[in-house]
């Protein structure tokens, strides 16, 4: 069984590939010859995930999934949310995004936040959604060099280290993306039995 992951984000690909452990063949956009920039025009994680999976399925007729993820901070009314990757303006400028979050939280005692992932899977033409969340706190400064995005300032509940201080295996056992992927893998196991 093969499945296309509608992303070019190498960090996401690495996390997902580690999670599936070869249970099915994971294809990237490069593997199927897709160099298109799939524009995320949705206002929710669910909409953006669906845009990606529908784009690939309609163009290539391959079973596929897309995801959208982000950081939601209570004191910032859920920001950066769906705009997490471009919170400071330029898409994917992690340092600027982190800086903006820390600046916006200056003097704030409520540091509660969560990472959320929504996966849209299109399997034989039908769409299925999987949602994963991990609760935590926003640190006042960065710590750690692993991971990507907001990992250096996110400390998951029950831990005294950030995602960026964890090994990939440790993060993959508790992360939002891992929790959504567990649901996707369970679903695939039921449809191929």
- Does residue 33 sit in helix, strand or coil? coil
What whole-number distance in Å separates Cα of residue 176 and Cα of residue 124? Answer: 26
- How many helices (H) and strands (E) are present in the chain, helices listed first? 5, 6
> Encoding tokens for residue 176?
């939002």
> Encoding tokens for residue 91?
């898409």
> Encoding tokens for residue 131?
């949602």
Q: Is 68 a catalytic residue?
A: yes
| 153: nearest Cα among 171, 141, 170, 167 | 141
Tell me the chain's radius of gyration from C-alpha atoms: 17
> Encoding tokens for residue 66?
């897309």
pLDDT of residue 193: 55
* From 68, 74, 131, 193, active-site residue: 68
Provide the residue-wise pLDDT of the chain in tens; the chain has 193 residues.
889 999 888 888 888 888 887 778 899 999 999 999 898 899 999 999 999 999 999 999 999 999 999 999 999 999 999 999 999 998 889 999 999 999 999 999 999 999 999 999 999 999 999 999 999 999 999 999 998 999 999 999 999 999 999 998 899 899 999 999 999 999 998 987 5
> Encoding tokens for residue 151?
């990992």
Domains annotated for the chain, with CATH where assigned, are: 2-192 (3.90.950.10)
Q: What is the 3-state secondary structure (H, E, C) of 147-181?
A: CCCCHHHEEECCCCCCHHHCCHHHHHHHCHHHHHH
């Amino acid at each position: 069984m093969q499945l296309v992951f509608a992303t070019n984000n190498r960090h996401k690909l690495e996390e997902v590939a580690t999670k599936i452990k070869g249970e099915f063949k994971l294809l990237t956009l490069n593997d199927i010859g897709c160099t298109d920039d799939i524009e995320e025009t949705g206002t929710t994680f669910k909409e953006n995930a669906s845009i990606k999976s529908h784009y690939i399925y309609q163009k290539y007729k391959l079973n596929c999934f897309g995801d959208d993820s982000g950081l939601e901070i209570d004191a910032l009314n859920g920001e950066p949310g769906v705009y997490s990757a471009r919170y400071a303006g330029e898409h994917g400028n992690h340092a600027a995004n982190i800086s903006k979050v820390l600046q916006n939280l200056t003097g704030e005692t409520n540091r509660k936040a969560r990472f959320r992932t929504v996966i849209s899977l299109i399997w034989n033409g039908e769409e299925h959604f999987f949602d994963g969340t991990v609760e935590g706190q926003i640190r006042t400064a960065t710590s750690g060099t692993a991971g990507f995005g907001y990992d250096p300032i996110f400390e998951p509940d029950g831990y005294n280290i950030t995602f960026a201080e964890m090994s990939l295996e440790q993060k993959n056992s508790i992360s939002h993306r891992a929790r959504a992927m567990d649901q996707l893998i369970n679903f695939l196991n039921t449809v191929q039995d």
